[in-house]
A and B are shown apart, each in its own frame.
Chain A
């Protein structure tokens, strides 16, 4: 399998996992809430596949793609969302609160950024050479604590890559209603070199992240990567206020899967598709049959 095919498969796994979640929500298999990253798969795969084995990932409410790109088990993620004992966190966390190896997520905006700084400083202190990547969205740029974190990351030279997935919409609020000034300048103000990419090409994101991570590792200092991206699905489940035409146009122009499919042979695309279909189906059905999580402690 070529690297292109490999990345395509990883993105397709995320896409099909999340499409399955949204479909099955309607049938009542899942409860509570979820946040999908359909359209943003190139960010997860392009960035996370460049990490070294000891590197650390901090992620947010929209974390399924990051978990799967990191090598997390699809059945355990399904099971976590279904509230099964076999879930990543035994059903305690659900869709947006997971911990697996060196990946940590939490559902409140902003707070994971200083935590990422602290982790990077701890690894530096331990001389482990691990670096940290933290994923935030454009909406989180409204949270004050991240600027405290940027300041400390730069001040103390934390080996940290801050990835802003700017999908141009925070829940239902377009970025232009919520954000003043320029995203890159925010980082520059703290002395953090920032690169901005306008692409849904996983290969382009991968190449640039590889270079940035090398700088983070070699210079022991923070970098920022701003990924201008598009979300095709709702913020959560049924809360998309954009018209179908608008979303269809975004998909036509920015679909990371379509971009990749144009570069691959149709035989290889169809073989990867059927492989992923089988994996998703098997993972879903296994998780569905797993035992439901039980609460202990009430006398």
Chain B
């Protein structure tokens, strides 16, 4: 049986609980046999009953409780069942959790990981399908991570989660994606058609958060650079593969795992080569990740940058009906269409 992103995250949690008894897992409905709404915490309460705390439906309070635990030397991990519910923890994230270290003149640590699944394509409708991570990017003192569905080199979704839980002394919002959960992890073997280059942001001193650069093996130089994260990165990879083999349109795909703080350096030389970037995200288009990255590129590359395009969700709530939701969220066909235009 293939290892999925879900399996990997689950193993990461179990390894962290095993490695350090100060790691505590809190969340709603996380006890076995249910094991969490998306099963990421499956098995944890059975193996580590003293470290797993099932909770009332109190997201705002729980964010505070775990912050207090972290300030007093534990390493809590909080599951927020749906990413949509991060609105309920916004006060804690923005006015408490992200501020304490700096505001207290670096006299405390706050090792807290808050995990939550974002994303649609499952027909859950307006309040259970959103990608709200843009609300939390650019908040000083808060790191926003998003795993990719790769197990390449020393990194996998689970290893990134485990290392973050065990080694990071600052608060982290760890964004998972519901569609990613059941995807098989892609390895060097399954990525045989690709050249995979691992890069790191120079400020990521311990090289914990890889940036994957994918190009088609043996292909001529790329015409367009793509950057995407989460499930959209997988859609982009499928589009990249299809266009290369069916239409001889060659692209490079850059997948970051740390969205905020965001560093441009690893993207810069690739984009400077093609001069064209397509930025893809599942959240709504305006004032988001793509807007920030596009601006950074324009500021840095000047006239070496010839074209910036963004692909994102339409500016409406996420509809429940399959036909409406498909029309609202970016699809693989949309990526392909844009790449055809941009490479022409």
Contact B103 A148 (CB under 8 A): no
* Chief secondary structure at chain B's binding surface: helix
Determine if A125 is an interface residue (Cβ-Cβ < 8 Å).
yes
Which residues between 74 and 122 of chain A lie within 8 Å of chain B, taking CB atoms? 88-90, 92-93, 97-99, 104, 106, 108, 110-122
Determine if A151 is an interface residue (Cβ-Cβ < 8 Å).
yes
Contact B56 A145 (CB under 8 A): no
Contact B65 A117 (CB under 8 A): yes
A101 to chain B, nearest CB (A): 10
Known: A121-B68, A122-B69. A99 touches B104 (CB 8 A): yes
Q: Which residue of B lies closest to A106 (CB)?
A: B96
Contact A93 B95 (CB under 8 A): no
Which residues between 83 and 102 of chain B lie within 8 Å of chain A, taking CB atoms? 91-92, 95-96, 99-100, 102
A51 to chain B, nearest CB (A): 16
Known: A106-B95, A114-B65. A119 touches B71 (CB 8 A): yes
Q: Mark B51-73, 1 if CB is under 8 A from A, else 0.
A: 00101101011111111111111
Determine if B108 is an interface residue (Cβ-Cβ < 8 Å).
yes
Q: Which residue of B lies closest to A87 (CB)?
A: B105
- Looking at A90, A112, A115, A145, the one whose CB has the most chain B CB atoms below 10 A away is A115
Contact A145 B96 (CB under 8 A): no
B67 to chain A, nearest CB (A): 5
The one of B24, B56, B60 that contacts A144, using a Cβ cutoff of 8 Å: B60
Determine if A197 is an interface residue (Cβ-Cβ < 8 Å).
no
Give the interface size class of chain A.
35 or more
Contact A99 B108 (CB under 8 A): yes
Q: Mark B101-121, 1 if CB is under 8 A from A, else 0.
A: 011110110000000000000
B68 to chain A, nearest CB (A): 2
Determine if A165 is an interface residue (Cβ-Cβ < 8 Å).
no
Determine if A56 is an interface residue (Cβ-Cβ < 8 Å).
yes
B29 to chain A, nearest CB (A): 16
Contacts of B92 in A (CB 8 A): 111, 114
Determine if B74 is an interface residue (Cβ-Cβ < 8 Å).
yes
Q: Mark B183-197, 1 if CB is under 8 A from A, else 0.
A: 000000000000000
A256 to chain B, nearest CB (A): 30
Contact B91 A111 (CB under 8 A): yes
Contact A99 B61 (CB under 8 A): no
Which residues between 134 and 171 of chain A lie within 8 Å of chain B, taking CB atoms? 144-145, 148-149, 151-152, 155-156
The one of B56, B66, B69, B108 that contacts A151, using a Cβ cutoff of 8 Å: B56
Contacts of B55 in A (CB 8 A): 152
The docked-state distance in angstroms from the alpha carbon of A152 to that of B63 is 12
Known: A89-B103, A92-B103. A152 touches B61 (CB 8 A): yes
**Tally of B interface residues using CB under 8 Å:** 33
A294 to chain B, nearest CB (A): 13
Contact A145 B68 (CB under 8 A): no
Contact B60 A118 (CB under 8 A): no
Determine if A27 is an interface residue (Cβ-Cβ < 8 Å).
no
Which residues between 24 and 72 of chain B lie within 8 Å of chain A, taking CB atoms? 24, 53, 55-56, 58, 60-72
B102 to chain A, nearest CB (A): 7
The docked-state distance in angstroms from the alpha carbon of A145 to that of B90 is 12
Known: A108-B95, A125-B24. A89 touches B107 (CB 8 A): yes
The docked-state distance in angstroms from the alpha carbon of A115 to that of B70 is 9
Contacts of A114 in B (CB 8 A): 60-65, 67-68, 92
The one of B56, B70, B73, B99 that contacts A152, using a Cβ cutoff of 8 Å: B56
Known: A99-B104, A99-B108, A125-B24. A145 touches B67 (CB 8 A): no
Contact B61 A122 (CB under 8 A): no
Known: A99-B107, A117-B68. A125 touches B74 (CB 8 A): yes
Determine if A298 is an interface residue (Cβ-Cβ < 8 Å).
no
- Looking at B60, B68, B107, the one whose CB has the most chain A CB atoms below 10 A away is B68
The docked-state distance in angstroms from the alpha carbon of A64 to that of B213 is 53
Contact A108 B96 (CB under 8 A): yes
Contacts of A155 in B (CB 8 A): 56
B198 to chain A, nearest CB (A): 29
The docked-state distance in angstroms from the alpha carbon of A4 to that of B239 is 78
Contacts of A148 in B (CB 8 A): 56, 58, 60-62
B76 to chain A, nearest CB (A): 8
Contact B65 A115 (CB under 8 A): yes
Contacts of B65 in A (CB 8 A): 114-115, 117-118, 121, 149, 152
The one of A90, A98, A104, A145 that contacts B91, using a Cβ cutoff of 8 Å: A145
28 examples of A-B residue contacts, CB within 8 angstroms = A89-B104, A97-B99, A99-B100, A99-B104, A104-B100, A106-B99, A108-B96, A111-B91, A111-B95, A112-B96, A114-B62, A114-B67, A117-B61, A118-B67, A118-B70, A119-B71, A120-B68, A122-B68, A122-B73, A144-B60, A145-B61, A145-B91, A148-B56, A152-B55, A152-B56, A152-B61, A152-B65, A156-B53
The 8 closest A-B pairs by CB, nearest first: A118-B68, A114-B64, A148-B61, A99-B104, A122-B72, A118-B65, A148-B58, A115-B68
